[in-house]
Chains A and B, each alone.
Chain A
Amino acid sequence: MTTATDTRTRTIKIKIKRCDGPGKPAYWQTFSVPVKRGEGANVISCLQYIAANPITDGGVATTPVAWKSGCLEEVCGACTMVINGKVRQSCSCLMDSACPNEGDTLTLEPMRKFPVIRDLFVDRTRLFESLKRVKAWVPIDNLWEQGAGPKETPDEQQTRYKLSECMSCGCCMDACPQFHQIADSAKWQTAFIGAAPISQVRYFNLHKTGATLKADRLSEMASQGGVSDCGNAQNCVKHCPKSIPLTESIAAVGRATTIHAIKQFFTGK
């Protein structure tokens, strides 16, 4: 495929862990993809090339590789996958830095902690269920006009702004040794919830109106699979694409849950 006349073009290898459907066995295929330097090629553009030319390195015609992507600017989390063994967004993985030389290989795998639907496409329903589990919303619905909300200080706003950047991509969970893939959705309620929803507990409890549900959130954090199941391996904070201080959130929620439990112990509620 390489045109020898253009010195800016190089051929790289993309090795992909494929799967034809839920429960089907995984298998590996390698594709050769021509890439031009300086054109901003990323994993998604390479996958688009493969979709248009679904022929393996060995010359075998195959099915196009399935994947999911959305914003292409690292704010939606849809294209999250395991690249060279580590979880991240594929849109922000640029080939000029990841595979700078002729013949470099990039390995793509689906996320490890979410069930595969097909190839690199995973089902992350559990993320949404986790947010529901911790009531990650501000309760403002009512039958009459509530008036203006409580005032927020710039300091609180700054703290919450960083936490608000979470896009529920699941990187923190995929890198976590305490978080596991669970097929049975009934067991999600008692399995370790992961860093992102714990950080959302902090986020919504810091909000003055959101704090009306504080006790509910902290009770969930004290239950099976809550904040106590964290093992402090701290991979989450290393792999958060938004650099959210997840380990600080875990400690802050740990403190709030400790205080909440002591209150419960003495008051019974």
Chain B
Amino acid sequence: MSESANTAQPAVPAPFLLRRLHSLAGIIPIGAFLCIHLTTNASIVWGRLGHGGVETFQHEVNFIHSTPFLLLIEVFGLWLPIGFHAVLGFYYAFTGSSNVAHYGYGANWRYTLQRLTGYFGFIFILYHVATLRWGWTWLPFASGFDAHTAASSTAQAIQGGADTSALGGFLIGALYLIGVLALIYHLANGLWTAAITWGLTISAGAQRRWGFVCSGAGLALAALGVMAFVGFVTLDLEAARQTESRLHSEIVNADTPQIAPAVAENNTTTNQSER
């Protein structure tokens, strides 16, 4: 090892490379995905201005679920980058020790909050993905997500899942609201620090100006997040299910002439070969 280390040093030192990949992963793909995700979710409210939030949201979900290689995109574009960012993030956070008790300045609080929102945000993402994507409905107050009843199943999950007591709704609602706002803070502040880390904003003035941009972006994302949250928390589940059932039957009826013969053909060939 030591001999090879003398002759062939890595072109870019690993600690530096990992730090920069950690920074990059937080922006692309994770940060970019958060923007898309919040916009999609906010359509539950946006749609109410037009032809119905449930329909708009279902349309968005259908579009996402029609994406080719969706599972590969999820694994390599989201779950692995989030895992990478989280594992390294925990390690990096443990190398610091907050001293806001002595030095209670704004930037020092933001430094501390960046780490706290990271911890909480990761726990929230784990619960969120485990219940709504992986279907781990055995988790407390959990119910799953069904792509055919996108809005009602999402709303049910946020309203406390199968648990209809006020406690479940309150706990899960609080988890979602705080979790989403924590992650938005984490992204906005992360954009601010990343610009320093990479060396884009050098002067104190540039850092302040970029801070306004990041704050603006954070507030805009927070508005989307709160819109989506309010939209799902106040959604009438029964009415939403009826709309979804109508949408589903419309799609099935529209598709029937094209799909039915092919299915029938396949069935006959299978049956014949079995015989």
Contact = CB atoms under 8 A, between A and B. Distances in A.
A219 B9 CA distance: 12
Contacts of B20: 228, 258, 261
Given A177-B108, A255-B198, A235 B203 contact: no
Nearest to A269: B11
A264 interface: yes
B99 A234 contact: no
B260 interface: no
Contacts of A252: 199, 202
Contacts of B111: 177, 231-234
B139 interface: no
B2 interface: no
A48 B112 CA distance: 39
Interface in B77-133: 92, 95-99, 102-103, 105, 107-108, 110-112, 114
A131 interface: no
B97 A180 contact: yes
A254 B198 contact: yes
B200 interface: yes
B207 A86 contact: no
Interface in B188-238: 192-193, 196-204, 207
B202 A235 contact: no
Given A177-B96, A231-B96, A233-B107, A264 B11 contact: yes
A255 B196 CA distance: 8
Interface residues of A, number: 39
Q: How large is the interface on B (under 10, 10 to 19, 20 to 34, 35 or more residues)?
A: 35 or more
A210 interface: no
Given A235-B108, A250-B196, A256-B199, A226 B16 contact: yes
Contacts of B201: 251
Nearest to A234: B107
A173 to B, nearest CB: 12
A255 B199 contact: yes
A257 B23 CA distance: 15
Contact of B204 (A177, A233, A248, A265): A248
A265 B12 contact: yes
Contacts of A224: 13, 15
Given A254-B197, A261-B20, A268 B107 contact: no
Contact of A235 (B97, B103, B207): B103
Contacts of A175: 99, 102-103
B202 A228 contact: no
B241 interface: no
Contacts of B102: 85-86, 175
B199 A232 contact: no
Contacts of A34: none
Nearest to B106: A234
B197 A238 contact: no
Contacts of A261: 12-13, 16-17, 20
A244 B77 CA distance: 42
A257 B17 CA distance: 11
A238 B199 CA distance: 20
Interface string B239-260: 0000000000000000000000
B59 interface: no
A32 interface: no
Contacts of B13: 219, 222-224, 261
A258 B199 contact: yes
12 contacts: A86-B103, A175-B99, A177-B96, A177-B99, A226-B15, A229-B95, A233-B103, A234-B111, A248-B204, A251-B196, A251-B201, A261-B20
Interface of A: 85-86, 175, 177-178, 180, 192, 219, 222-224, 226, 228-235, 238-239, 245, 247-248, 250-259, 261, 264-265, 268
Top-7 shortest CB links A-B = A255-B199, A233-B111, A234-B107, A228-B19, A222-B16, A254-B199, A232-B193
